[in-house]
Amino acid sequence: MSDTLEMVKEVIADVLKVDKDNITPETRFIEDLNADSMDQFFLIDGFCEKFDVTISDDEARNIQTVQDILDYIDENI
């Protein structure tokens, strides 16, 4: 899981221009990282590209924390 976490953190840091050392599984995209709807779109797109998965709009709405995307990746690859 740590490799996946590091890869997720890289996507988040790249898209949101934040320090990846401050990102934990409990980090919330909107509340903690101030991501807006466009940022969330680019995050989902980045995760899809990085992990070669497809995330539907309905599934994307449920991804609100780093742990949510880790769980999704774990279940779908």
pLDDT-derived band of residue 60, with 50, 70 and 90 as boundaries?
very high
Structural contact between residues 68 and 23, judged by C-beta atoms closer than 8 angstroms? no
Per-residue pLDDT at 1: 45
Q: What is the mean pLDDT of residues 33-61?
A: 97
Residues assigned a catalytic role: 36
Q: What is the pLDDT of residue 2?
A: 73
Residue spans per domain, the chain: 2-76
Whether domain 2-76 has CATH 3.40.50.10090: no
